[in-house]
């Protein structure tokens, strides 16, 4: 980017006097800019023509001329930023933003939040980390899961304010009386993001590819075959009835990408940029359901903005702020909730902790006020009082059993579990039990080869749109359980889950699953620790923002009023 190089040279000229006039020579300026004197003279001429400075040379070799600055590098950079954003040159905008955090905050915030760019409603979201590739199947992060649900589509889909799946690629489905044959009838108006029609054979290929992943194969373990008996229909033939099937297909992990390009889907938004600095979505013109009200959504990956010392609004990934610097004082929470997902403690079976010892440990955590006392931001978490609403935690009489002299705890992200692990270690030390900590630097247990050696584990369980189903999926697919349960317990668990999924009635199925978890909690195998408080704040100009189950919001429902005439933002 030639303009950026010129700006950097201008910055070198400016720095020694911070913009005050300078008495200097061409040779000194050339040394400052790491170039020849001939090039320095050419640079001065170009910067004069741009109106950035004036140069009054003195005749005679070695004579000092006068360098006068007409603008500051910051104002030049802001003007260039606005120009490239209006032209849609997002990568150039991010290249211009390579500054110290204090400068970056002042430069970027006028362009964050809701903007109209070239008569196009665009939402820009600052984000605290690079996003991981959106590969088909399970994804570890909430943001990635949410993006997958905006880019890809499944045969079924969850909708706001409904715990049951609705039609997506399929407009309706039917099941045989024995629960073994399911037919999903496809819409005739489906298009991929490249504008080409969706073929039934492509969806069949994509789903078959999903089943090559062990976790997805486990999720769909009841599926015997999938075929297409006629155009616009996919037929699932099962080994045993599974009335969770529409729920499984509505989960983001089952959404289907193009068989030849796993970044191309047919969801409401298409992916147009995916770099470590920028992720950009644009609305899909051929989308088969309600079209988005926004034209584009951008994630600006700016970890610098999340430094607490800067006092910005972007402090934690579960608390999202949308808006410009001058609007921060006017931001108001537009949606907040307590997450159904939770951080949990699990106890390995047939290990050093007996049931009585596990119960004492769990009671200690819940009854000592330890979680309330965690040194975390106020309002960030709340102690878990139940696993899901109405799924109460078991209560035991006081446990006086002695704990083992040494225990090991394995835990992974989020970062709040660092604090929890330290608190638990101090608490157990006061009881004569040494707690050895092992941190797995990831959002799930994948790749943690020593997990089977743990006495206890702590992790984070995200809950999707259908809470009961999400927990059933967790039991079937997570790498945690083979390391936590004995082989006999695993076999019993899967047999029980296969029995639960046979109930056609939703309430009966949910009640049976609740009994499974209550039994596991009563045995001291698992307990929730705390839930997050999700919150999104936005200025008055951003509308349709409502938290979903993952602490994000449906991009298809957000909208921006048009700007006042003559006040269109960059």
Tens of pLDDT, residues 27-49: 889 888 888 988 988 999 999 99
What's residue 117's pLDDT?
Answer: 59
Helices (H) and strands (E) in the chain, counts: 16, 22
Kind and range of the H or E run holding 511: helix 506-522
Cβ atoms of 33 and 16 within 8 Å: the answer is no
- DSSP assignment of 366-404 equals HHS-TTTT----TTSEEE-SBSSTT-BPP--PPP-PPPP
Residue 159 in this model has a pLDDT that exceeds 90: no
In angstroms, the first-to-last Cα distance of the chain is 20
What sign results for the dihedral spanned by CA atoms 52, 58, 63, 66? negative
Give residue for tokens 């984070």: 460
Q: Where are the extended beta strands (E) located within 441-525?
A: 456-461
Burial 112-139 (b: 16+ CB within 10 A, else e): bbbbbbeeebbbbbbbbeebeebebbbb
Residue 476, C-beta contacts closer than 8 angstroms, at least 6 positions apart: 218, 219, 221, 494, 497
Angle at CA 18, nearest 5°, toward 14 and 23? 65
Return the pLDDT at 256.
Answer: 97
d(CA 46, CA 33): 14
Mean pLDDT to the nearest integer, 209-231: 96
Give the residue-averaged pLDDT of 329-348: 75
Q: How far apart are CA 95 and CA 103, in angstroms?
A: 14
Residues 229, 235, 236, 242, Cα dihedral to 10°: -140
Enumerate the H helices of 406-505 as residue ranges.
416-429, 467-477, 480-484, 487-500
% of the chain residues with pLDDT over 90: 57
Task: Enter the tokens of residue 224.
Answer: 């015997």
Q: Which of 93-102, 248-257, 280-289, 377-386 has the lowest mean pLDDT?
A: 93-102
Q: Residue 81 — pLDDT band, cuts 50, 70, 90? A: confident
Under the phi-then-psi rule, with left for phi > 0, alpha for psi from -120 to 50, and beta for the rest, what region is 268?
A: alpha
CA distances to 348, 359, 397, 405, 552 from 354, rounded to whole Å, are 10, 9, 16, 13, 40
User: Where are the strands (E) in 368-473, listed by range?
Assistant: 381-383, 406-412, 434-440, 456-461
Residue whose pair of structure tokens reads 């955090």 in the numeric block: 101
Q: What local confidence, expressed as pLDDT, does residue 385 receive?
A: 92
179 secondary structure, DSSP code: S
Locate 542 and state its tokens.
């951003």
User: Which tokens in the block code for residue 536?
Assistant: 């999104």
Q: Residue 431's CB: how many other CB atoms inside 10 A? A: 11
Question: And the tokens for 94?
Answer: 């991010």
Q: What is the dihedral of CA 425, 431, 434, 439, to 10 degrees?
A: -20
Which has the closest alpha carbon to 435: 526, 341, 365? 365
| 236 contacts 260 by C-beta, under 8 angstroms | no
Cβ pair 101, 69 in contact under 8 A? no
Three-state DSSP at 92 gives helix
Helices 37-49, 2-14: axis angle to 10 degrees equals 100
Tell the burial category of 346 from Cβ atoms under 10 Å away from its Cβ (0-12, 13-18, 19+): buried
346-375: per-residue pLDDT in tens?
999 999 999 999 999 999 999 888 998 888
State the pairing for strand pair 526-538/319-321: parallel
Q: Are 523 and 496 in contact (CB under 8 A)?
A: no
279-291 pLDDT tens trace: 999 999 999 999 9
Classify strands 296-301 and 120-127 as parallel, antiparallel or unpaired: parallel
Token output for 298? 């951008």
Beta carbons within 10 angstroms of residue 481's beta carbon? 20
Say yes or no to pLDDT of 112 above 70. Answer: no
* 332, two tokens: 């108001």
Whole-model pTM?
A: 0.81
pLDDT of 545 higher than 80:
no
Quick one: residue 99, left, alpha or beta (phi over 0 = left, psi -120 to 50 = alpha)?
Answer: beta
Instruction: Tell me the longest C-alpha to C-alpha distance in the chain.
Output: 100
User: Lowest mean pLDDT: which of 124-128, 196-200, 334-338?
Assistant: 334-338
Local structure of 191: helix, strand or coil: strand
């Amino acid at each position: 980017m030639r303009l950026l190089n010129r700006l950097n040279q201008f910055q070198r000229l400016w720095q020694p006097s911070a913009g005050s006039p300078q008495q200097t020579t061409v040779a000194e300026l050339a040394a400052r800019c790491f170039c020849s004197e001939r090039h320095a003279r050419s640079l001065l001429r170009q910067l004069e023509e741009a109106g950035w400075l004036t140069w009054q040379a003195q005749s005679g070799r070695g004579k000092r001329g006068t360098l006068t600055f007409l603008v500051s590098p910051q104002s030049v950079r802001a003007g260039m930023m606005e120009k490239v954003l209006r032209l849609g040159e997002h990568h150039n905008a991010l290249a211009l933003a390579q500054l110290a955090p204090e400068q970056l905050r002042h430069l970027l915030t006028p362009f964050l939040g809701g903007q109209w760019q070239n008569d196009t409603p665009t939402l820009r979201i600052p984000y605290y980390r690079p996003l991981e590739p959106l590969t088909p199947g399970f994804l570890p992060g909430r943001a990635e899961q949410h993006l997958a649900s905006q880019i890809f589509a499944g045969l079924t889909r969850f909708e706001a304010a409904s715990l049951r799946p609705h039609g997506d690629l399929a407009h309706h489905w039917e099941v045989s009386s024995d629960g073994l044959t399911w037919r999903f009838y496809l819409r005739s108006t489906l298009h991929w993001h490249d504008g080409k029609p969706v073929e039934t054979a492509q969806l069949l290929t994509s789903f078959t590819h999903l089943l090559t992943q062990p976790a997805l194969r486990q999720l769909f373990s009841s599926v015997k075959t999938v075929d297409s008996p006629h155009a616009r229909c996919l037929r699932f033939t099962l080994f045993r009835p599974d009335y969770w099937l529409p729920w499984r297909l509505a989960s983001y992990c089952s959404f289907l990408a193009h068989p030849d390009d796993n970044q191309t889907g047919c969801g409401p938004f298409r992916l147009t940029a995916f770099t470590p600095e920028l992720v950009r979505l644009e609305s899909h013109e051929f989308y088969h359901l309600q079209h988005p009200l926004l034209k584009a959504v951008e994630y600006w990956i700016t970890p610098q903005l999340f430094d607490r010392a800067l006092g910005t609004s972007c402090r934690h990934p579960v608390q999202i702020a949308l808006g410009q610097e001058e609007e921060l004082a006017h931001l108001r929470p537009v949606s907040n909730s307590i997450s159904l997902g939770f951080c949990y403690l699990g106890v390995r079976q047939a290990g050093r902790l007996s049931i009585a010892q596990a119960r004492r440990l769990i009671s200690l955590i819940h009854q000592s006020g330890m979680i309330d006392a965690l040194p975390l931001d106020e309002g960030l978490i709340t102690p878990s009082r139940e696993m899901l609403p109405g799924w109460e935690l078991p209560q035991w009489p006081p446990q006086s059993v002695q704990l083992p002299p040494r225990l090991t705890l394995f835990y992974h992200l989020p970062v709040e579990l660092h604090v929890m692990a330290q608190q638990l270690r101090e608490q157990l030390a006061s009881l004569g039990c040494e707690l050895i900590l092992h941190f797995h630097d990831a959002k799930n247990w994948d790749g943690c080869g020593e997990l089977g050696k743990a006495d206890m584990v702590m992790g984070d369980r995200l809950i999707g749109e259908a809470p009961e189903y999400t927990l059933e999926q967790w039991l079937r697919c997570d790498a945690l359980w083979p390391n936590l349960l004995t082989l006999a317990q695993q076999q019993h668990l899967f047999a029980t889950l296969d029995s639960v999924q046979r109930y056609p009635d939703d309430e009966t199925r949910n009640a049976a699953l609740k009994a499974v978890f209550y039994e596991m909690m009563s045995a001291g195998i698992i307990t929730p620790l705390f839930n997050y408080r999700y919150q999104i704040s936005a200025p008055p100009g951003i509308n349709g923002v409502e938290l979903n189950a993952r602490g994000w919001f449906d991009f298809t429902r957000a909208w921006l009023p048009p700007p006042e005439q003559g006040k269109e933002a960059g």
